[in-house]
C-alpha cells in the first residue's frame, strides 16, 4: 500500500461487523471461489514447520471433512522432517497424509511451490514473513489458516489490510489464530458484556507475564541469517518483540470487548534481567497505557523474567460491574452475577479448524484478517511507545515509514540488525530511539 494512501483511524475501524469467530463477509450463504461446496478432497499445505505449525496441521487433519496434507515448506530441512514425522505419528488415518519428497520444499521461496499444490494453506512461519506469504496465498485464491501476529511493522500491517479486502472480494475463508475468538468461555462472557450486563466499559487490564521462551545457542559455521532465523523470537524483524508475538492475544480480547481499537498509547519498558547477547534486541518487560476514543484506558503489561509473578489474563470494569477472563461477571459490590461453569468446552485450537473447514464445505465465508491486522497494529503501537518513551497516536503508527523486514532473503544476506564486535545487538533506548 503506497504511503500516499494514508490511513486514518476513523476509516481504519469503520465498517466491520465483528462476530464471535471472525468477520462474516456479506450475507450467508456465500460460495467460495477457491473450493466450492460439494467438491473433492481439500488439499492442505503447511508453510512453517515448527511446533505451532505441526500442531495446526494435526488439528486441520482432525476435522470431519475430507482433507489431505499434500505439501510442506520450511526454511530448514531438519524442521520440516521433524514436523512431518510428528504429524505421521499423531494422525491415525494415514490416507490423510500424502507428502512425497518432491512436495517437501526447503528454503525461503519454497512456500510458493507448496501453496500452488493446495486448496487450504496453513501459515505458521515467524510473523515477519506473514504478509508476503499471505499475499501469495490470497492472490492465488486459497483458503487460509494463519497464526498471529499478522506482521512485525506497520508496512506489513498495511499489506495485510490490502489482502483482507482482496480476500473479502474473492470470498475466501481466512481464520486467524487468535483462538480466544473460538473459545466458548470468551464467546459467552463477551456476549454478555456486549449485552450490557456490566454497563459501559470504563477501564481494562491485560496481562502476559511469564518466564520467557527457548534459546538456541550459536553454532559454528552459522551465517548471521541462519542464527537469527533459528532464534527468531529475539529479533524484531522476525518476531516484533514479545508484546507483539504473545501479548497480542490479551490486547485483542480488550479490543473485542471495546469493539474498537486504541487512538494512542504511551508506556515504558526495557531489558532489566534478560540482558545477555543470546536474547537479541527485544525487551524483557513492557507496560503500556492504551487510550480508546471514548477516553477509557487499557493498562497492559507483559514480562519475560524468571521467578516473578505470572499472569496471562484480561479483566474489564464497567459502570455496573466488572468481568475477568475466568468467565465471571461481578456487580459493583463484588457479588458474582454469572459464571461460566462448562468444563467440557471444545479445544479452541481445534475449534478454529473445525469452523474453517465447515465454512468452506458449506460455501460460507469467515474472514478474520481485518481484526487480526488491527490487533497486530495495537501491539506494534505499544512497542513503538515503549521503545521511544513517547506518546504515539494510532494514525502516526499505522502510517509509519519505519520498516523492519528486509526486501530480500538468503542465507548469505545480512539481516537488518547486526551484532557489534562483542556479539551484542543494539537495544532500543527510550528517549533516544526513533520509531517514526
Residue by residue, DSSP assigns 86-129 as HHHHH-S-GGGB---GGGEEESSSHHHHHHHT-SEEEE-S-GGG
φ, ψ of residue 224 to 5 degrees: the values are -60, -35
Alpha-carbon distance 250 to 193, whole Å? 16
Name 230's Cβ contacts closer than 8 Å, sequence gap at least 6: 76, 216, 222
Cell of 69: 496434507
> CA 92, CA 332: separation in Å to the nearest integer?
51
Task: Read off the pLDDT of residues 244-274 as tens digits, 9 standing for 90 and up.
Answer: 999 999 999 999 999 999 999 999 999 999 9
DSSP characters over 180-194: GGG-HHHHHHHHHHH
In the structure, what pLDDT confidence band is assigned to residue 32 with cuts at 50, 70 and 90?
A: very low
Tell me which residue of 20, 77, 72, 22 sits closest to 47, measured CA to CA: 72
Given a contact cutoff of 8 angstroms between Cβ atoms, the answer to whether 367 and 360 are in contact is no
From 130, 25, 23, select the one nearest 370 (Cα to Cα): 23
Q: Which residue has the higher pLDDT, 262 or 19?
A: 262
SS3 415: coil
Question: How large is the C-alpha radius of gyration of the chain?
Answer: 21
**pLDDT tens digits for 377-423?**
999 999 999 999 999 999 999 999 999 999 999 999 999 999 999 99
Grid coordinates standing for 26?
456479506
Judge whether 9-181+349-368 and 184-345+377-398 match in fold.
no
**C-beta separation of 243 from 286 below 8 A:** yes
Question: Are 256 and 374 a contacting pair, CB within 8 Å?
Answer: no
According to CATH, what is the number of the domain 9-181+349-368?
3.40.50.720
pLDDT at 19 over 70: no
**Predicted confidence band of residue 5 (pLDDT cuts 50, 70, 90):** very low
Q: Where are the domains of the chain?
A: 9-181+349-368, 184-345+377-398
Beta bridge partners of 210: 304
Of 137 and 15, the structure prediction assigns the larger pLDDT to 137
- In this structure, are residues 368 and 174 in contact, taking their beta carbons and an 8 Å threshold? yes
Average pLDDT over all residues of the chain: 93
d(CA 127, CA 159): 13
Could you name the CATH architecture of 184-345+377-398? Answer: 2-Layer Sandwich (3.30)
Segment 26-38 mean pLDDT: 42
Return all residues near 384 (Cβ < 8 A) that are at least 6 apart.
265, 392, 397, 400, 435, 436
- CA torsion angle 306 310 312 318 (round to 10): -140
**Phi, psi values for residue 435, rounded to 5°:** -120, -5
At residue 13, does pLDDT exceed 90? no
pLDDT tens, residue by residue, 120-130: 999 999 999 99
Amino acid at each position: 500500500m503506497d504511503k500516499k494512501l494514508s490511513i486514518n483511524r476513523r476509516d481504519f475501524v469503520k465498517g466491520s461487523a465483528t462476530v464471535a469467530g471472525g468477520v462474516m463477509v456479506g450475507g450467508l450463504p456465500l460460495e467460495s471461489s477457491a473450493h466450492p461446496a460439494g467438491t473433492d478432497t481439500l488439499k492442505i499445505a503447511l508453510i512453517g514447520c515448527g511446533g505451532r505449525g505441526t500442531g495446526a496441521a494435526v488439528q486441520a487433519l482432525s476435522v470431519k471433512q475430507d482433507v489431505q496434507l499434500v505439501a510442506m515448506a520450511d526454511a530448514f530441512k531438519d524442521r520440516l522432517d521433524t514436523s512431518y514425522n510428528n504429524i505421521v505419528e499423531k494422525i491415525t488415518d494415514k490416507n490423510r497424509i500424502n507428502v512425497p519428497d518432491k512436495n517437501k520444499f526447503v528454503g525461503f521461496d519454497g512456500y510458493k511451490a507448496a501453496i500452488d499444490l493446495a486448496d487450504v494453506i496453513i501459515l505458521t512461519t515467524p510473523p515477519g514473513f506473514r504478509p508476503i506469504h499471505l499475499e501469495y496465498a490470497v492472490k492465488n485464491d486459497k483458503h487460509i489458516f494463519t497464526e498471529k501476529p499478522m506482521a512485525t511493522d506497520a508496512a506489513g500491517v498495511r499489506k495485510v489490510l490490502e489482502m483482507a479486502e482482496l480476500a473479502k472480494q474473492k470470498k475466501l475463508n481466512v481464520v486467524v489464530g487468535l483462538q480466544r475468538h473460538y473459545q466458548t468461555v470468551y464467546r459467552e462472557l463477551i456476549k454478555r458484556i456486549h449485552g450490557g450486563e456490566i454497563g459501559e466499559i470504563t477501564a481494562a487490564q491485560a496481562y502476559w507475564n511469564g518466564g520467557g521462551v527457548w534459546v538456541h545457542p550459536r553454532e559454528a559455521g552459522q551465517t548471521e541469517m541462519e542464527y537469527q532465523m533459528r532464534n527468531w523470537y529475539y529479533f524484531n524483524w522476525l518476531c516484533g518483540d514479545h508484546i507483539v508475538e504473545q501479548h497480542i492475544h490479551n490486547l485483542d480480547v480488550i479490543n473485542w470487548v471495546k469493539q474498537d481499537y486504541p487512538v494512542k498509547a504511551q508506556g515504558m519498558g526495557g531489558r532489566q534481567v534478560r540482558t545477555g547477547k543470546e536474547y537479541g534486541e527485544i525487551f524483557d518487560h513492557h507496560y503500556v497505557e492504551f487510550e480508546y476514543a471514548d477516553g477509557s484506558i487499557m493498562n497492559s503489561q507483559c514480562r519475560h523474567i524468571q521467578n516473578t509473578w505470572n499472569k496471562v489474563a484480561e479483566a474489564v470494569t464497567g459502570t455496573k460491574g466488572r468481568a475477568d477472563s475466568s468467565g465471571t461477571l461481578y456487580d459493583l459490590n463484588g457479588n458474582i452475577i454469572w459464571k461460566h461453569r462448562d468444563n467440557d468446552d471444545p479445544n479452541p485450537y481445534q475449534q478454529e479448524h473445525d469452523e474453517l473447514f465447515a465454512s468452506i464445505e458449506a460455501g460460507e465465508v469467515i474472514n478474520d484478517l481485518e481484526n487480526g491486522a488491527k490487533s497486530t497494529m495495537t501491539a506494534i503501537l505499544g512497542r513503538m511507545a515503549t521503545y521511544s518513551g513517547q506518546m504515539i497516536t494510532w494514525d502516526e503508527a499505522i502510517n509509519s515509514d519505519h520498516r523492519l523486514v528486509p526486501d530480500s532473503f538468503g542465507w548469505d544476506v545480512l539481516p537488518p540488525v547486526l551484532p557489534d564486535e562483542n556479539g551484542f545487538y543494539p537495544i532500543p533506548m527510550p528517549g533516544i530511539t526513533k520509531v517514526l
